[in-house]
């Protein structure tokens, strides 16, 4: 076969192959292109967890609201869903949210699932627990107060669900588990909330003040914070425990304020005490007329010399204010707490009456 004949035959074969390839593509497009709506494939029944989540959302969502605020002359937050979340507490029109959601607000509006926006007034706040109670100006007859659970019997690993308005996206459901219990969370007031619930259910800006619920559709916490350098969810969220909420909210509704158990002392920062090798709560100052003064506790002298260091409360070792506050809450305002205090190398037991130190 000459060279010319070879190249002619190769060209013919190549042309034939291209023709077959193009014809196959044209034929396939003609036969298989979906030029009409596709047939719907029947879905199998939802799984047990899916059914449970859907049921819980349908039941709890009507109790969840978004909170829009106005500060000074600024207009209400223009984002859909507002600046935070909240939930209906009772049939009288009280709504619970975070204190930081409504702090410094000149006007507040509560937006329901169906889009109704109702002005609300501030009834009272507990900044040390990051809680606030609002009152609707008009009380709809179809209000659905949230079911209330307990936080003392929660366990790590149990399923939880969060409903709120992250990034202004109204009534968003996220799911997860309780990742840890008894966390401590500092608030903008400078105090520490104890017994905080940690969860991996996604909590983002806008979820603040919304409910964390269990699979029995009960409130077990109020979502309040995340730990994330970027400001968005990174797997760690926190909720104020419902036992704390259920103690503070009724007091705010009744009196506009909530009692804060204490004994009337100022303390040296825990980090400074540790650096100095001191174990316990270093009393820096004692308020005049306080229970601590009546019990004979002493703070630092004018020359900076140590006074009392509280090392135990009710027989339990304490190393910071958060631990002491938790014990004082258990003892209760008006009751007496047993403290062990060290001064000049000697320990002694003192009895202090727990008092209300809320000066707001």
Average pLDDT over residues 228-233: 57
- Confidence class for position 203, pLDDT limits 50, 70, 90: confident
Please report the pLDDT score of residue 17 as a whole number: 62
Indicate if the pLDDT at residue 228 is higher than 70.
no
- 22-36 tens-digit pLDDT: 565 665 666 667 778
Question: In which band, very low, low, confident or very high, does the pLDDT at 352 lie, cut at 50, 70 and 90?
Answer: very high
Note whether 338 and 310 are within 8 A (CB): no
pLDDT for 77: 43
Lowest mean pLDDT among 30-39, 135-144, 245-254: 30-39
DSSP letter, residue 48: H
* pLDDT for res 24: 59
- Write down the pLDDT at residue 106: 86
Tokens of 36: 């009409």
Least confident interval from 11-25, 27-41, 102-116, 272-286: 11-25
- Name the band, by pLDDT with cuts 50, 70 and 90, for residue 43: confident
pLDDT, residue 80, reads 37
CA torsion sign, 252 to 129 to 145 to 170? positive
- Cα→Cα distances 24→15, 35, 267, 282, 360, Å: 14, 19, 84, 86, 82
Over residues 157-182, the mean pLDDT reads: 91
Among 57-66, 178-187, 220-229, name the one with the lowest average pLDDT: 220-229
Q: Where are the beta strands (DSSP E) in 217-359?
A: 218-226, 237-241, 261-262, 265-267, 281-286, 309-313, 316-317, 336-343, 346-353, 355-356
More confident residue, 225 or 74: 225
The structure tokens listed for 93 are 């029109």
More confident residue, 319 or 136: 136
Task: Assign 357 a pLDDT band (cuts: 50, 70, 90).
Answer: confident
pLDDT of 247-274, one tens digit each? 999 999 998 988 888 999 988 887 888 8
Distance between CA atoms of 103 and 168, rounded to whole angstroms? Answer: 18
Kindly list the distances between the CA atom of residue 244 and the CA atoms of 87, 91, 128, 330, 357, in Å, as whole numbers in the listed order.
Answer: 16, 21, 11, 11, 17
pLDDT digits (tens, 9 = 90+) for 188-199: 666 677 788 999
Give residue 199's pLDDT: 93
The pTM for the full model equals: 0.74
pLDDT score, position 10: 67
Tell me how far apart the terminal alpha carbons of the chain are, to the nearest angstrom. 107
Contact assessment for residue 195 and residue 243, using Cβ atoms and an 8 Å cutoff: yes
**Residue 3: per-residue pLDDT:** 65
pLDDT greater than 60 at residue 78: no
Over 60: is that where the pLDDT of 79 sits?
Answer: no
For 78, 265, 298, 313, the CA distances from 284, given in Å and listed in that order, are 46, 7, 8, 18
Which residues belong to the active site?
A: 100, 130, 208
| Element of type H or E holding 210 | none
Q: What is the mean pLDDT of residues 196-204?
A: 89
Q: What is the pLDDT of residues 275-300, one digit of tens each?
A: 888 889 999 999 999 999 999 999 99
What pLDDT is stored for residue 195 in this prediction? 81
**CA Rg, the chain, in Å?**
31
Q: Which residue has the higher pLDDT, 234 or 95?
A: 95
């Amino acid at each position: 076969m000459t060279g010319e004949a070879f190249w002619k035959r190769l060209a013919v074969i190549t042309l034939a192959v291209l023709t077959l390839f193009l014809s196959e593509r044209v034929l396939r497009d003609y036969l298989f292109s979906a030029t009409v709506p596709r047939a719907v494939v029947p879905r199998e029944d939802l799984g047990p967890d899916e059914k449970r989540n859907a049921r819980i959302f349908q039941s709890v969502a009507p109790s969840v609201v978004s909170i829009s605020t106005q500060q000074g002359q600024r207009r209400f937050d223009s984002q859909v869903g507002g600046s935070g979340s909240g939930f209906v507490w009772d049939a009288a029109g009280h709504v619970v949210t975070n204190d930081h959601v409504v702090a410094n607000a000149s006007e507040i509006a509560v937006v329901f699932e169906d889009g109704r926006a109702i002005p609300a007034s501030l009834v009272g706040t507990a900044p040390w627990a990051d809680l606030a109670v609002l009152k609707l100006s008009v009380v709809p007859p179809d209000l659905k107060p949230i079911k209330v659970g307990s936080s003392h019997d929660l366990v790590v690993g149990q399923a939880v669900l969060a409903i709120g308005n992250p990034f202004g996206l109204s009534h968003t459901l996220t799911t997860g588990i309780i990742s840890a219990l008894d966390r401590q969370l500092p608030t903008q007031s400078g105090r520490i909330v104890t017994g905080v619930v940690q969860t991996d259910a996604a909590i983002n800006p806008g979820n603040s003040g919304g409910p964390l619920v269990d699979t029995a559709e009960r409130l077990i916490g109020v979502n309040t914070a995340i730990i994330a350098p970027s400001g968005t969810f990174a797997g760690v969220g926190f909720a104020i425990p419902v036992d704390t909420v259920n103690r503070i909210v009724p007091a705010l509704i009744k009196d506009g304020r909530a009692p804060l158990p204490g004994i009337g002392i100022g303390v040296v920062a825990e980090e400074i005490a540790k650096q100095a090798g001191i174990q316990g709560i270093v009393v820096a100052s004692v308020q005049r007329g306080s229970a601590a003064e009546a019990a004979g506790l002493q703070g630092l002298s004018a020359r900076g010399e140590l006074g009392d260091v509280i090392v135990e409360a009710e027989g339990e070792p304490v190393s910071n204010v958060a631990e002491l506050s938790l014990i004082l809450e258990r003892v209760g305002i008006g009751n007496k707490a047993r403290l062990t205090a060290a001064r000049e190398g000697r320990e002694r037991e003192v009895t202090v009456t727990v008092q209300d130190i809320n000066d707001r």
